A and B are shown apart, each in its own frame.
Chain A
Amino acid sequence: MRGGCNLPAPAAIEGMSVTNAPKPPPSSEITPESAYADRRRFLKSSLLFATTAAGVGGGLVWLTGGARGRGNGPRATATANASGGGLGEPRPSRYSTDEPMTSDIEATTYNNFYEFGTSKEEPARLAGSLKPRPWTVSIEGEVQRPQTIDIDELLRSFPLEERVYRMRCVEGWSMVIPWDGFPLGDLLRRVEPTSQARFVAFTSLLDPAQMPGQRDGVLDWPYVEGLRLDEAMHPLAILAAGLYGRPLPNQNGAPLRLVVPWKYGFKGVKSIVKIALTRDEPRTTWNIAAPDEYGFYANVNPAVDHPRWSQATERRIGQVRRRPTLPFNGYAGEVAGLYRGMDLRRHF
């Protein structure tokens, strides 16, 4: 039906006032069928274009995980896990650094806690399933007074101090975190190590129901870390129960974790349920996983590279430029004496 516009025949309008009568449109203005079909094809093509572009773009973003922004939502949940009130007034400490602190939000949303997944974001998102109360810590092995202590009783026995420490991750980034804790040595003295005790082994909770990452065999669970007894007795080594003046958020290792600021972050075992004093060097989790990459000592050392990357520099979270990494993470003055006469390349 080319030009299917139904005009009355010219005869029908004869004798009428025809000055305004519409004229048939010139044939040049009639939409040709091919153009009409083109329009349909154009619409179809546009739709296919949009779907394909969205599919390709969406697929790429999905495959690369690019959609995971921190957004505005998770910030609230990240800190909501820290139940309970503040920690009273932790005393300041002469061991604190006065360097600018990493922001609370970054320290609580960028975590390595493989019990809740291997990405940095998962712990803040998934650690809600951990129940930090009721909680007990058993202290056993080469001690005169083995015991199982309720976490709240433990925290009442030792006054908390604020320790603002540098934290250097073995992956090449660092933070400055205000921990609230007490010297590990104070607890060890109370349980009276025997003359046979030479090492301390710390064990994390093993409970795949609370820690979904433990259903994957990415590491040998439970997570175990260890120190030599003299390292453990050093006043810089603390058990932390809080950060930024409030109880530890789950993703940071609630309710109790180790902080050893001159060692790489993975030594800081989280959610501790057992502390055992031993005669022999304990087998530790990352050392079992990759013995050539993660030593028992794991002292921060810019001169000994990780086999796959340099340890000479680090990026402080929140800053762009890398900075030189310091021997013993800047605590050489306090702790270098512990390692006198040791070959730190061999005992890395």
Chain B
Amino acid sequence: MTPRAGGRRPWLKPAVFAGALAPLGLLLVRAARSDLGANPIAEVLNELGLTTLVLLIGSLACTPLREILGWTWAIGLRRMLGLFAFFYAALHFGTYIGLDQGLHFGAIFVDVTKRKFILAGFAAFMMLAPLAATSTAASVKRLGFPRWKLLHRLAYTAAILGVVHFFLRVKKDVSEPAVYAAVLALLLLARVYVYARDRRPS
């Protein structure tokens, strides 16, 4: 989707790539130093989940940044941020399945079907999977741009479900999930604004 590989900012994509690996690197360092606190599995789950949410919201911010602020370079980061969100979501889900639940698929099945909290996260992950699978230029061509675009609107639904998942997880203090909800709402409003602006006859 980018006009040219690299373009005027050849450092941008490699830098964001390296930066997006930082949370994982830090988790590995902390794990090696036994510095994940008294409940390391919960800590890893929280970190991976939050990183997913930040990256997903970051990928959704790219289009409004271009449309409203004219930052065309942002669009070149959208796919990578989305793929990283999927990457962290997969690690988060894998940690839940393998470490937290110890591969007890019976308990996992009950969790996914019975608990809105788990279901919301699971559904968000299931929505990110087809987006990751159709992230290539070839997929855009195969699906045709309008259909591809429609499919990739799922990213918004996945982000909303991710925030719901976060809300349902906390015991009482909803201030942090509320911040994510507010940023997401702002991004949705930006979309509405752009839509209204572009529809107006000039």
Contacts and interface: CB of A to CB of B under 8 A. Distances in A.
B133 interface: no
Interface stretch (B14-22, B61-69, B193-201): B14-22
Interface stretch (A64-72, A154-162, A201-209, A269-277): A64-72
Interface in B7-48: 9-12, 14-16, 18-23, 26-27, 30, 33, 35-39, 41-42, 46-47
Given A57-B22, A315-B39, A171 B15 contact: no
Interface stretch (B107-115, B124-132, B149-157): B107-115
Contacts of B169: 308
Interface stretch (A26-34, A48-56, A129-137, A328-336): A48-56
A60 B117 contact: no
19 contacts: A46-B11, A48-B15, A49-B14, A51-B15, A56-B15, A60-B20, A61-B23, A66-B51, A71-B35, A106-B38, A114-B172, A216-B173, A218-B172, A218-B173, A289-B172, A290-B172, A312-B107, A315-B41, A320-B99
A45 B102 contact: no
A61 B107 contact: no
B79 to A, nearest CB: 15
A212 B139 CA distance: 54
Given A57-B18, A63-B50, A310-B111, A45 B10 contact: yes
A54 B26 contact: no
B54 A63 contact: yes
A91 interface: no
B4 interface: no
Interface string A103-131: 00010011000100010110000000000
B142 interface: no
Interface residues of B, number: 46
B163 interface: no
Interface string A275-290: 0000000000000011
B159 interface: no
Contacts of B14: 49, 53
B115 A171 contact: no
Contacts of B141: none
Contact of A69 (B10, B19, B35): B35
Contacts of A65: 47, 50
A137 B10 CA distance: 68
A184 B89 CA distance: 48
A69 B27 CA distance: 10
A131 B55 CA distance: 43
A317 interface: yes
Interface in B70-98: none
B161 to A, nearest CB: 15
A225 to B, nearest CB: 15
A322 B35 CA distance: 21
A291 interface: no
B26 A61 contact: yes
Contacts of A54: 19
A348 to B, nearest CB: 16
Contacts of B115: 308-310
A313 interface: yes
A124 B137 CA distance: 51
A149 interface: no
B55 A60 contact: yes
Interface in A159-194: 171, 173
Instruction: Identify which of B11, B33, B41, B116 gathers the most chain A CB atoms within 10 Å of its CB.
Output: B11
A58 interface: yes
Interface string B142-184: 0000000000000000000000000011011100000000000
A289 to B, nearest CB: 6
A66 B168 CA distance: 21
A322 B55 contact: no
B172 A219 contact: yes
B2 interface: no
A318 interface: yes
A23 interface: no
B101 interface: yes
A321 interface: yes
